């Protein structure tokens, strides 16, 4: 039994060593193959490239670069043509640095400046707002002949009724100033202003 196990072990080691030997040989051979292919590629790279000549659609080569004419002969015909050139401008001197004139449109009607408005208009104090109407109705007299004049006053809704004479205050705000047979003058003590007349209401 021990002899069979030792044979298997030796066989496994032999296989592992064989694989390692194959890998080592491949590692040595691959660089040699790559070195042999480099001279061909370098030879191709060293070959000169022929210059490319551009041709027109008709088959002729491209236009040659223009050579400047160095002839010092004076061309009188060119000078004569330039002397006959006439400058046509808009009336502005091109040799003087200046801004163009600003065209101001003419007004269609005479205007009024702010100074004229200030002189013609005077400051006026705004009028105070009018006091609200007194919500009382005068509908009768409450005094007998020979007694001080007293009247009946009621609220606009008709729920509250007061009896007051001249100089008395109704509803802690309205003062009875003067009583006449047809109306009563009452002043609102909250809003300063003239008294308001309340006419006598029948019924």
Any idea what the CATH number is for the domain that residue 161 is in? 2.30.30
Residues 122-142: tens digit of each pLDDT = 778 888 788 889 999 999 988
Q: Please give the biggest Cα pair distance in the chain.
A: 163
**The pLDDT of residue 10:** 85
Residue 186 lies in a domain: yes
Residue 14 lies in a domain: no
**The pLDDT of residue 11:** 87
Residue 157 lies in a domain: yes
Domain count, the chain: 1
Q: What is the mean pLDDT of residues 88-106?
A: 74
Report the predicted TM-score, pTM, of the whole model to 2 decimal places.
0.38
Predicted confidence band at 1 (pLDDT cuts at 50, 70, 90)? very low
Predicted confidence band at 183 (pLDDT cuts at 50, 70, 90)? very high
Look-up of token digits 């590692």: 27
Of 133, 154, 145, nearest in space to 181 by CA: 145
> When comparing pLDDT for 25 and 42, which is higher?
25
**The pLDDT of residue 42:** 46
Residue 6 lies in a domain: no
Q: Where are the alpha helices (DSSP H) in 148-194?
A: none
In this structure, of 56-60, 101-105, 153-157, 194-198, the range with the lowest mean pLDDT score is: 56-60
**The pLDDT of residue 137:** 92
Residue 67 lies in a domain: no
Residue 144 lies in a domain: yes
Percentage of the chain lying above the pLDDT 70 cut: 67
Q: Look at residue 191 and tell me whether its pLDDT is greater than 60.
A: yes
Residue 120 lies in a domain: no
Residue 151 lies in a domain: yes
**The pLDDT of residue 80:** 84
Q: Count Cα atoms within 13 angstroms, Cβ side, for 67.
A: 3
**The pLDDT of residue 184:** 94
* Domain range for 195: 136-199
**The pLDDT of residue 180:** 92
Highest mean pLDDT among 87-96, 109-118, 156-165: 156-165
């Amino acid at each position: 039994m021990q002899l069979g196990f030792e044979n298997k072990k030796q066989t496994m080691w032999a296989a592992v060593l064989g694989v390692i030997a194959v890998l080592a040989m491949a590692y040595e051979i691959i660089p040699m193959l790559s070195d042999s292919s480099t001279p061909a590629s370098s030879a191709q790279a060293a070959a000169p490239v022929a210059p490319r000549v551009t041709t027109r659609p008709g088959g002729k080569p491209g236009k040659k670069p223009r050579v400047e004419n160095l002839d010092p002969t004076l061309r009188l015909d060119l000078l004569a043509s330039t002397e006959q050139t006439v400058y046509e401008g808009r009336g502005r001197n091109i040799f003087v640095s200046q801004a163009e004139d600003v065209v101001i449109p003419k007004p269609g009607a005479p205007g009024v400046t702010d100074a004229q408005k200030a002189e013609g208009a005077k400051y006026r104090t705004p009028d105070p707002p009018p006091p609200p109407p007194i919500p009382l109705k005068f509908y009768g007299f409450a005094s007998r002949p020979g007694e001080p004049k007293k009247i009946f006053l009621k609220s606009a809704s008709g729920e509250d009724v007061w009896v007051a004479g001249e100089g008395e205050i109704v509803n802690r705000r309205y003062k009875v100033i003067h009583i006449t047979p047809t109306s009563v003058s009452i002043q609102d003590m909250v809003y300063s202003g003239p008294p308001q007349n309340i006419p006598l209401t029948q019924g």
